[in-house]
C-alpha cells in the first residue's frame, strides 16, 4: 500500500489560486490540488489570497500576504535589480516560514511542487540550507530561460507541460532527460462539457449574437505572441469573400494581473477599424469562468493563431472538451493536443493558410467527430487522469529517487 503523500503546491505570486478570471497557471494549480486530494494525497496550497467564494474542500490553504509594508519595500528595492524577481527575497523568507509551520502542525513534507520562477527559490533553501529530505519538483509551464538552469540542476525532478517543453529543456539547458517527465495541462471535464441545442440559442442572446450564422472565437491574452492580428487579417479576407460570421474575442488587454489598452491591444482595435470589419468583430473583455463556458457553448469554431511556440494552451483542451472544433497554428506543443478529428493544424503561420482552414470548417469540408473528441479529452486531459499520473511520478521520486514513467 502506497504511503499518503503530504504535498505543498506553490501557486504564483501574481494571482490567487484559483483566479477570479483568467490565469492559466493559477487555474491549473488549484485544479490539480483538488484532483490530487481526491486521489488520496494531503495537499497544502500556498496562495496570495484565500477566496471566500471558493470551496477548497479538503485542501489546506496557506496565504502569503504580499500587501505587507515590508513586502512592498523589498519589492521596490529588488525590482530595480530585476523587475521579474523583485519579490524573491521576501517570498523566499515567508515561504520557508510557511513550510516550517506546515511541518510543525502536520508532519514531514514529502513533496514541494513549484510552478513559477519567483517561488522556486524557497524549496531549494528549505531542502539544502535546512537539511530536509523533502523532494522538490519544478513544473515548467513555459520555455525556461537560461538563467533558471542553475535552479533546475538542483531540483529533484522537472515536470514539463508538453513533449515540446521537455525537448526544449533537455536540448537548450542541457538538463538530464531522465529527470524530466511530461505532465500535460488539464481541463475540468465536469465543468467544460457540451451544451444542449436549446442552451446555445439562449446563450447567444447573452452575447447579443442571435442572428450570427457562424461564430468563431478567440480566447486569450491580447498580446502579440497570441497572433490575434493574424486572425483579424484573415477575417477581412473572409468578409471580402462574402462569408457571414461573427468573431468574438475574450481575454485581457495584455497581462491578466495588469491590463492596459496601450501598445498591441490598441493596435488591434485600430486594425479592426482600418480593415472595416467592425460589424464582424466583438470584443467581450476578460470573462469569468461561467461566461467563458457559455462562449464556448455558442462557438462554431475556436481559433488559436499563436505565433510563438505555445507550450500547452488550455483553451484547446477546453474547446475540445465541449466538442468544439479548433483551428490552430502547429506551434510548440499544440500538435500534441489536437487530433485529426478535432480540427485543423496549420503548418505555416500566415493568414492565407489560416483563411483556408477556417473556410474548410465553415463549408463543412472537415470531418469533426465531436463524440470522439469529448471522449479523447476525458481519457487524456481530465484533472483526474493527470492527477493520477502526477502522483505516480511523485511516488517514484519519493521512493526511488528517480522517474521510471517519464
Q: Which CATH number does 197-380 carry? A: 3.40.50.2000
Q: Are 123 and 134 in contact (CB under 8 A)?
A: yes
Residues in a beta bridge with 281: 247
Class at the top of the CATH hierarchy for domain 6-186+382-400: alpha beta
CA distance 38 to 97: 27
Residue 231, H or E segment = helix 228-240
Which portions of the chain are predicted below pLDDT 50? 78, 80-82
CB contact set of 109 (below 8 Å; sequence gap of 6+): 6, 7, 8, 44, 99, 102, 103, 132, 134
* DSSP string for residues in 206-230: HTT-TT-S-EEEEES--SGGGTHHH
CA distance 370 to 98: 46
Going by C-alpha positions, the residue among 353, 359, 304 that lies closest to residue 333 is 304
Is residue 161 helix, strand or coil? coil
Q: Are 11 and 112 in contact (CB under 8 A)?
A: no
Phi, psi at 54, each rounded to 5°: -115, 135
Residue 387, H or E segment = helix 383-400
Q: Do domains 6-186+382-400 and 197-380 have the same CATH topology?
A: yes
Going by C-alpha positions, the residue among 183, 139, 114 that lies closest to residue 383 is 183
Q: Using CB atoms within 10 A of its CB, is residue 249 exposed (0-12), middle (13-18) or buried (19+)?
A: buried
Q: Which pTM does this prediction carry?
A: 0.92
CB contact set of 108 (below 8 Å; sequence gap of 6+): 6, 133, 134
Please give the grid coordinates belonging to residue 22. Answer: 483568467
CA distance 115 to 29: 8
pLDDT confidence of residue 18: 94
Phi, psi at 101, each rounded to 5°: -65, -40
pLDDT confidence of residue 73: 59
Residue 170, H or E segment = helix 163-173
pLDDT confidence of residue 255: 80
pLDDT confidence of residue 394: 96
Residue 280 DSSP symbol: G
Residue 361 DSSP symbol: H
Going by C-alpha positions, the residue among 274, 293, 270, 301 that lies closest to residue 283 is 270
Domain coordinates in residue numbering, the chain: 6-186+382-400, 197-380
Amino acid at each position: 500500500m502506497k504511503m499518503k503523500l503530504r504535498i505543498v503546491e506553490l501557486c504564483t505570486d501574481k494571482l490567487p489560486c484559483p483566479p477570479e478570471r483568467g490565469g492559466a497557471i493559477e487555474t491549473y494549480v488549484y485544479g490539480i490540488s483538488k484532483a490530487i486530494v481526491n486521489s488520496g494525497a494531503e495537499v497544502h496550497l500556498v496562495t496570495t489570497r484565500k477566496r471566500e467564494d471558493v470551496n477548497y474542500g479538503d485542501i489546506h490553504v496557506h496565504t502569503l500576504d504580499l500587501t505587507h509594508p515590508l513586502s512592498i519595500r523589498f519589492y521596490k528595492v529588488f525590482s530595480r535589480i530585476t523587475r521579474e524577481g523583485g519579490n524573491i527575497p521576501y517570498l523566499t523568507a515567508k515561504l520557508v516560514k510557511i513550510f516550517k509551520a506546515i511541518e510543525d502542525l502536520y508532519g514531514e513534507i514529502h513533496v514541494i511542487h513549484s510552478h513559477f520562477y519567483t517561488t522556486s527559490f524557497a524549496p531549494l533553501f528549505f531542502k539544502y540550507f535546512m537539511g530536509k529530505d523533502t523532494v522538490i519538483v519544478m513544473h515548467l509551464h513555459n520555455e525556461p530561460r537560461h538563467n533558471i538552469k542553475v535552479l533546475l540542476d538542483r531540483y529533484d525532478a522537472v515536470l514539463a507541460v508538453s513533449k515540446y517543453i521537455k525537448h526544449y529543456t533537455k536540448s537548450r539547458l542541457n538538463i538530464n532527460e531522465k529527470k524530466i517527465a511530461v505532465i500535460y495541462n488539464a481541463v475540468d471535464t465536469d465543468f467544460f462539457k457540451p451544451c444542449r441545442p436549446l442552451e446555445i440559442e439562449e446563450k447567444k442572446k447573452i452575447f447579443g449574437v442571435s442572428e450570427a450564422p457562424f461564430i468563431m472565437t478567440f480566447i486569450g491574452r491580447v498580446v502579440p505572441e497570441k497572433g490575434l492580428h493574424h486572425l483579424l487579417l484573415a477575417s477581412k479576407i473572409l468578409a471580402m469573400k462574402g462569408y457571414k460570421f461573427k468573431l468574438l474575442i475574450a481575454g485581457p488587454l495584455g497581462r491578466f494581473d495588469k491590463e492596459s489598452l496601450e501598445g498591441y491591444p490598441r493596435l488591434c482595435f485600430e486594425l479592426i477599424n482600418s480593415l472595416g470589419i467592425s460589424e464582424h468583430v466583438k470584443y467581450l473583455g476578460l470573462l469569468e469562468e461561467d461566461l467563458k463556458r457559455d462562449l464556448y457553448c455558442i462557438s462554431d469554431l475556436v481559433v488559436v493563431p499563436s505565433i510563438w511556440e505555445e507550450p500547452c494552451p488550455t483553451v484547446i483542451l477546453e474547446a475540445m472538451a465541449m466538442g468544439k472544433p479548433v483551428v490552430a497554428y502547429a506551434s510548440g506543443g499544440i500538435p500534441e493536443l489536437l487530433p485529426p478529428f478535432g480540427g485543423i493544424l496549420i503548418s505555416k503561420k500566415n493568414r492565407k493558410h489560416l483563411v483556408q482552414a477556417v473556410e474548410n470548417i465553415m463549408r463543412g469540408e472537415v470531418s469533426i467527430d465531436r463524440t470522439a473528441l469529448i471522449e479523447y479529452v476525458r481519457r487524456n486531459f481530465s484533472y483526474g487522469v493527470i492527477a493520477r499520473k502526477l502522483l505516480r511520478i511523485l511516488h517514484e521520486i519519493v521512493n526511488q529517487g528517480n522517474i521510471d514513467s517519464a
